[in-house]
């Protein structure tokens, strides 16, 4: 198996580690813009001129979000399946490209690895199979500290801090909007407030607050880059109890503190589960969840703010 990877940053290295678990026999090639670019592990560097003469089983697009569209344009003629790191694009100005992808028939999957966390999958399946449970409210919160994300680097120089590269907490942490949509469906209406007013001193959005309306309830999603003590939780207020899903602990507890569900995997495992899902669907030819069209619907919610 030959795998092409575009972008060799921290997230790419997580995908490579997952690939070693799923397909240890795979040979990984990294497309580099400079001939003297440093190598990484057993990954072989190649240049753009190599693309048209080489055969790949699929590609992983993990370069800055602002480069996704041109990268997809470059790879579409090869016909290989594309796994695209979230978010799919940095803006909503790519409807023509979406149509081109549909016309090409190329298989796509936009990587939202938290869908493979046990507790979130349990909640997804529970909500789907128990339509009689009345949901009154959903509250999602994710606060983390951007300077801790990439140790040994200047966080102000990372794409997360630079809006022109597709940075900003609203799209960097699009996971939380994605799993609300995945579990509860597309909201009937959404809007948000995004600001960059914290002590971090970056230009990209560092605070986002969204309201998503559904026929029977309202969901709120709050995201930030500046919380020192990491917290990522979702509350689901049923008519008779409240479930709190703690992403870090991979648990769901009820109002009494009793454990409803406890997962056995961790965040690192979700990258392996995600890549296994992607490769199995490539082999079977089955359609995949969260293709570029579905991911674009999440992006519409994400970018509907003032």
> From first to last of its 306 residues, what are the pLDDT tens digits of the chain?
999 999 998 899 999 999 999 999 999 999 998 888 888 999 999 999 898 899 999 999 999 999 999 999 999 999 999 999 999 999 999 999 999 999 999 999 999 999 999 999 999 999 999 999 999 999 999 999 999 998 889 999 998 999 988 899 999 999 999 999 999 999 999 999 999 999 999 999 999 999 999 999 999 999 999 999 999 999 999 999 999 999 999 999 999 999 999 999 999 999 999 999 999 999 999 999 999 999 999 999 999 997
CATH 3.40.50.720 fits 2-112, yes or no: yes
DSSP code of residue 42: T
Q: Are 219 and 187 in contact (CB under 8 A)?
A: yes
Beta strand 207-213 pairing with 218-224:
antiparallel
Structure tokens belonging to residue 208: 């986002």
Output the pTM of the full model: 0.94
DSSP code of residue 215: S
Nearest of 293, 298, 283 to residue 108 by alpha carbon? 293
**What SS3 class is residue 248?**
coil
Domain 118-264 in this protein, CATH class: alpha beta
Q: What are the extents of the domains in the chain?
A: 2-112, 118-264
Provide the phi-psi class of 41: left if phi over 0, else alpha when psi is between -120 and 50, else beta. Answer: left
Q: CB atoms < 10 A from the CB of 266, how many?
A: 11
């Amino acid at each position: 198996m030959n795998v092409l990877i575009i972008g060799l940053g921290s997230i790419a290295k997580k995908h490579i580690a997952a690939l070693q678990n799923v397909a240890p026999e795979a040979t990984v090639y990294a497309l580099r813009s400079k001939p003297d670019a440093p190598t990484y592990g057993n990954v072989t560097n190649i240049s753009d001129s190599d693309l048209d003469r080489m055969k790949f089983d699929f590609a992983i697009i993990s370069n800055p979000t602002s480069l996704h569209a041109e990268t997809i344009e470059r790879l579409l003629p090869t016909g290989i399946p594309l796994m695209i790191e979230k978010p799919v694009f940095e803006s909503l100005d790519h409807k023509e490209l979406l149509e081109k992808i549909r016309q090409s028939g190329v298989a796509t999957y936009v990587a939202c690895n938290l869908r493979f966390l046990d507790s979130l999958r349990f909640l997804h399946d529970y909500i789907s199979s128990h339509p009689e449970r009345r949901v009154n409210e959903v509250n999602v919160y994710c606060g983390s500290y951007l300077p801790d994300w990439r140790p040994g680097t200047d966080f102000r120089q990372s794409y997360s801090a630079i809006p022109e590269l597709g940075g900003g907490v609203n799209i960097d942490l699009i996971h939380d909007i994605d799993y609300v949509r995945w579990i509860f469906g597309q909201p009937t209406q959404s809007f948000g407030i995004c600001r960059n007013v914290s002590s971090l001193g970056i230009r990209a959005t560092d605070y986002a607050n969204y309201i998503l309306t559904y026929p029977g309830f309202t969901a709120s999603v709050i995201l930030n880059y500046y919380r020192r003590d990491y917290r990522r939780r979702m509350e689901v207020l049923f008519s008779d109890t409240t479930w709190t899903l703690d992403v870090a602990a991979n648990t769901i507890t009820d109002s009494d503190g009793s454990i409803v569900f406890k997962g056995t995997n961790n965040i690192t495992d979700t990258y392996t589960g995600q890549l296994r899902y992607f490769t199995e669907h490539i082999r079977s030819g089955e359609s995949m969840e969260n293709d570029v069209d579905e991911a674009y619907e999440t992006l519409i919610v994400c970018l509907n703010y003032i």
